[in-house]
């Protein structure tokens, strides 16, 4: 099993296993009733925007060709993000290279990433998803952090960055090099959430309300060997000072609850009890809610790794309008960025966009069909939780998995996809040399999806009533590979570039030429 799992974290298992059996988290001091800020530390990110692996991997030998052609580019740029952690030291190498001893590690506090969840209404009442990770953060010296951080930087080094960026890069590195804690029992305490608290507005996710009761302690169970937990658990209908939880088939309002992890103050989250019927937006983050530009690798890595997160144009005001004007609109942020960097994403989102539940790439993917994309797995999970809700799906064209998985949801869950909104990164960013494939949209009702250029294209759309298309935005959809450089996309039909190479190869070649000629 271990060998089938790619993440370096698994390579850290020997460290975990060598350590004494982890103690259960200590019982905490009494949980305060006042609303805390649910989100905790910021983390930088090596975002995983390019899900090109599947198209690239399908071409034998391309991976090694690209690594050689791309020269100074780390291999994970070419091979796709699932291999992202490949270049990290592994196993005992981590322990020895970092000089971590078991006793040093044992002395560091246990931390918990608690990812804001969603609950659906079932015969047993509310059924809440608990998801997160238990880990310890070794104390790594600054010079060692610099060395490790430099692995990620293209054409620069931590030492050459402005101080704030260098700090951010070291911070990120430290947070990636954590040691997950397997087989630890996790206990959560739930309280009604007086305010959403972390999104810079007082009301949070649309009109989410504070339930009258529901305070309780939940035994979430043991973490996996990778330190993860991800499970749905029914909530008891406990009364509180303001009454009970409202049943999900008898309200349209979203109820918010704070979920505190016992034994640490690093594991606070606000989760959402989402009614049976209503409208949910599932939103990607990179290059739709923030500027990432990983399709320009050097730039993308700096944006992800060292620079402060920046919203993409005026998207925050589009979301703010939706949050305020659409009653009981549930926001769910679904990104395939690695779990280790979730805190950074949450920190940015809750400061900039409406509150909502969250999904990122789980560490252990062994229980999922290898052919299933992580995004599809996460999408199916939320769709299966709400067979009667409708969904707005939003992202950008630079993810090959989005281009396949979003339209596939419309086919798999008929009637549940209300709108698909995709920013065309190629149309506004000439630096995006990666093509995108619109063939997944063939056969879908063209009033249910729109490709757009800038956030303003979304203004005035009545998405609640199914108006997904701004007729002033020219669509140009060929249902084939588009966005090829050199105007190749203007050529006919299913674009077959010479020698049977796909668009991805062409883009990669262009990138390689760019490297050689200094364009990129
Ligand atoms: C968790 O915290 C709650 C509230 O403080 C407490 O009632 C419960 O006993 C704790 N559980 C464990 C296992 O520590
Ligand atoms: C990273 O930065 C955050 C926010 O500034 C801070 O809370 C956290 O402790 C830092 N982590 C490390 C490992 O330095
Ligand atoms: C709501 O759900 C509960 C539990 O499934 C069920 O007993 C009840 O009849 C439902 N009420 C309505 C109005 O559908
Ligand atoms: C981390 O290690 C340095 C150097 O060994 C030490 O000075 C510092 O106190 C340690 N920090 C923590 C939080 O243990
Ligand atoms: C976790 O809790 C279960 C049930 O209470 C118990 O059987 C198990 O031994 C505990 N595991 C650890 C590692 O403490
Ligand atoms: C909880 O119980 C109360 C009192 O019986 C009832 O009014 C309420 O609908 C129940 N809520 C849920 C979520 O079951
Ligand atoms: C988490 O919640 C607890 C209880 O309200 C609070 O004491 C703690 O400061 C919170 N932690 C953070 C990082 O906000
Ligand atoms: C609630 O969500 C779970 C997990 O996705 C799903 O298996 C179950 O069918 C859902 N229940 C209902 C009534 O929708
Ligand atoms: C949608 O499809 C219809 C015919 O199926 C076509 O007339 C119309 O131009 C299409 N709209 C767009 C925006 O492509
Ligand atoms: C459609 O093509 C036009 C002309 O090339 C371009 O300006 C526009 O941005 C494209 N539309 C989209 C949604 O990509
Ligand atoms: C459509 O897009 C244009 C251009 O961005 C924008 O001015 C307009 O408000 C949008 N909405 C509608 C309904 O036309
Ligand atoms: C705000 O959102 C509502 C609901 O979708 C929409 O009807 C309205 O036109 C939007 N306003 C702007 C300025 O986009």
**Distance from residue 327's CA to the centre of ligand 12 (Å):** 12
How many CB atoms are located within 10 Å of the residue 231 CB? Answer: 13
pLDDT for position 442: 96
**Distance from residue 125's CA to the centre of ligand 6 (Å):** 9
**Distance from residue 373's CA to the centre of ligand 7 (Å):** 35
pLDDT for position 50: 30
Task: Tell which atom from ligand 8 comes closest to the C-alpha of 381.
Answer: 5
212 lines ligand 6 (CB under 6 A): no
pLDDT for position 405: 94
Q: Is the dihedral of CA 439, 444, 445, 450 positive or negative?
A: negative
Task: Tell which atom from ligand 1 comes closest to the C-alpha of 24.
Answer: 13
| Residues with a CB atom less than 6 Å from ligand 3 | 123, 247, 249-250
The structure tokens 């995108």 sit at: 436
Burial class (CB in 10 A: 0-12, 13-18, 19+), 154: middle
Task: Tell which atom from ligand 8 comes closest to the C-alpha of 387.
Answer: 14
Residue ranges for the chain with pLDDT beneath 50: 1-92, 198-204, 486-520
- Distance, in Å, from the CA atom of 149 to the CA atom of 165, rounded to the nearest integer, reads 11
Q: Kindly report the pTM of this predicted structure.
A: 0.84
Q: What is the DSSP string of 210-254?
A: --S---EEEEEEE--TTSEEEEEEEPP---BTTB-PPPTTS--PP
- Ordered by start, the domain boundaries in the chain are 5-22+34-86+484-517, 108-138+177-482
Taking CA atoms only, the protein residue closest to ligand 7 atom 1 is 265
Among all ligands shown, which has an atom nearest to the Cα of 187? 1
| Residues with a CB atom less than 6 Å from ligand 12 | 321-322, 325-326, 459-460, 462-464
- Distance, in Å, from the CA atom of 470 to the CA atom of 420, rounded to the nearest integer, reads 12
Among all ligands shown, which has an atom nearest to the Cα of 462? 12
pLDDT for position 288: 96
């Amino acid at each position: 099993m271990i060998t089938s799992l790619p993440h370096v974290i698994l390579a850290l298992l020997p460290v975990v296993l060598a350590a004494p059996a982890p103690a259960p988290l200590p019982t905490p001091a009494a949980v305060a009733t006042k609303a805390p800020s649910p989100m905790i530390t910021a983390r930088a990110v090596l975002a995983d925007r390019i899900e090109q692996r599947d198209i690239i991997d399908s071409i034998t030998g391309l991976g090694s060709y690209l690594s050689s052609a791309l020269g100074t580019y780390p291999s994970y740029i070419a091979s796709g993000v699932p291999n992202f952690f490949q270049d990290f030291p592994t196993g005992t190498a981590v322990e020895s290279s970092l000089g971590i001893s078991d006793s040093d590690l044992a002395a560091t506090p246990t931390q918990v990433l608690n990812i804001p969840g969603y609950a659906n209404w079932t015969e047993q009442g509310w059924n809440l998803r608990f998801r997160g990770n238990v880990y310890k953060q070794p104390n790594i010296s600054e010079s060692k952090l610099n060395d490790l951080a430099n692995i990620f930087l293209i054409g620069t080094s931590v030492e050459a960055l402005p101080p704030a960026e260098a700090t951010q890069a070291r911070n990120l590195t430290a947070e990636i090099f954590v040691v997950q804690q397997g087989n630890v029992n996790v206990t959560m305490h739930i309280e009604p959430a007086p305010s959403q608290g972390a999104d810079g507005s007082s009301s949070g996710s649309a009109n989410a309300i504070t339930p009258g009761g529901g305070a309780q302690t939940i035994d979430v169970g043991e973490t996996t060997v990778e330190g993860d937990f991800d499970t749905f658990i029914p909530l008891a209908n406990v009364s509180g000072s303001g009454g009970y939880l409202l049943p999900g088939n008898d309200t349209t309002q979203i109820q918010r609850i704070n979920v505190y992890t016992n034994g640490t103050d690093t594991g606070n989250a606000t989760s959402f009890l989402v009614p049976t019927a209503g409208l949910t937006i599932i939103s990607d983050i990179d290059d739709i809610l923030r500027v990432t530009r990983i399709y320009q690798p050097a730039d993308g890595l700096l944006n992800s790794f060292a620079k402060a997160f920046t919203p993409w144009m005026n998207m925050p005001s589009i979301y703010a309008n939706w949050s305020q004007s659409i009653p009981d609109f549930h926001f769910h942020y679904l990104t395939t960025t690695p779990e280790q960097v979730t805190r950074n994403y949450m920190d940015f989102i809750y400061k900039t966009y409406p509150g909502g539940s969250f999904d990122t790439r789980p560490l252990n993917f062994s229980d999922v069909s290898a052919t299933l994309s992580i995004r599809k797995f996460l999408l199916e999970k939320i769709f299966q939780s709400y067979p009667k809700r409708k969904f707005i799906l939003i992202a950008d064209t630079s993810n090959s998995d989005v281009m396949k998985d979003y339209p596939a949801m419309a086919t798999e869950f008929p009637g549940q996809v209300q709108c698909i909104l995709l920013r065309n990164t190629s149309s506004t960013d000439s630096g995006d040399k990666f093509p995108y494939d619109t063939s997944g949209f063939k056969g879908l009702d063209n009033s249910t999806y729109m490709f757009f250029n800038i956030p303003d294209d979304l203004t005035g759309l009545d998405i609640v009533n199914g108006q997904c298309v701004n007729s002033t935005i020219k669509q140009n959809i060929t249902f084939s590979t588009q966005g090829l450089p050199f105007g190749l996309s203007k050529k006919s039909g299913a674009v077959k570039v010479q020698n049977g190479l796909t668009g991805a190869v062409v883009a990669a070649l262009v990138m390689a030429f760019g490297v050689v000629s200094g364009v990129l």
